Amino acid sequence: MKIDTINLQILEELQCNARVPLTEISKKVGLSSPTVSERIQKMEEAGIINGYNTDINMESLGYSLGVYISIKIRFGQVKNFEEYIKDVPEISECHKLTGNDCMLMKGVVRNPKHLEELNEKLTVYGELTTSLILSSTIKSRVYTKAF
C-alpha cells in the first residue's frame, strides 16, 4: 500500500489522539469523513495500523519508578525465561537483543523495595543490569514522515 502525505497526516492525528473524530481529521486533511474512514480501514487491512491503545499514567496508579532491566540469561534458560516473563505484570516490554545481554525489559515498580523484589525473581534466570528512568526526552514518537 502506498502511503502518501495525506495518509501520513491521518496517521499523525491518530497517533496523537486515537479518539479524534473523523470530522476533525477530514477538516485537517481536506477530505470527506467517509474518504478518511476508507483510508483508515485500508491502512488497518494493510497492517499499517495495528490497533488503538490507551496511554495509562502508571504513576497515578502508584507505580512511580520506570525501569529498564537487561539480562544475560544462563545457558539453557532462554525458553524458561521467555515463558516466565510473559506473566510478570511489572514488565510491559521484553525484547531479544544482540550484544552482551540477551533481553531488555521495560517495566514499572512502586518503589525501590518493589524493584528489589522484582530483581530477586529475575536473577534466577541470569545476571541483571537495572537502570531507573529519570526522565524521558522522547516518550513516544509521533511519525509524521517517511525517513
| 50 falls within a domain | no
In a domain, 146, yes or no: no
Q: Residue 70 maps to which CATH number? A: 3.30.70.920
Mean pLDDT of 65-93: 97
Residues 65 and 86 in one domain: yes
Whether 73 and 103 share a structural domain: yes
**Percentage above 90 pLDDT, the chain:** 89
Q: Between helices 33-45 and 5-16, what is the axis angle to 10°?
A: 90
Tell me: do 19 and 70 sit in the same domain: no
- The DSSP result for 35-52, as a single string, is HHHHHHHHHHHTTS----
Using the predicted structure, report yes or no on whether residue 145 has a pLDDT greater than 80. Answer: no
Domain annotation covers residue 83: yes
Give the strands of the sheet with 126-132, arranged side by side. Answer: 91-96, 103-109, 65-73, 126-132
Closest CA to 94 of 73, 65, 74: 73
Decide if 85 contacts 77 (C-beta within 8 A): no
Written as nine digits, the cell of 18 is 486515537
Split at pLDDT 50, 70, 90, the class of 7 is: very high
Q: Which three three-digit cell numbers place residue 122?
A: 529475575
Is there a domain that residue 53 lies in?
Answer: no
Residue 104 · residue 70 · CB < 8 Å: yes
Note whether residue 95 is domain-resident.
yes
Asked if residue 123 and residue 63 are part of one domain, the reply reads yes
Q: What is the reported pLDDT for 52?
A: 93
Report the pLDDT value the prediction gives residue 143, as an integer from 0 to 100.
Answer: 81
In this structure, the dihedral spanned by the alpha carbons of residues 29, 30, 34 and 40, taken in order and rounded to 10 degrees, is -20
Residue 13's domain comprises 5-45
Would residue 65 count as lying in a domain? yes
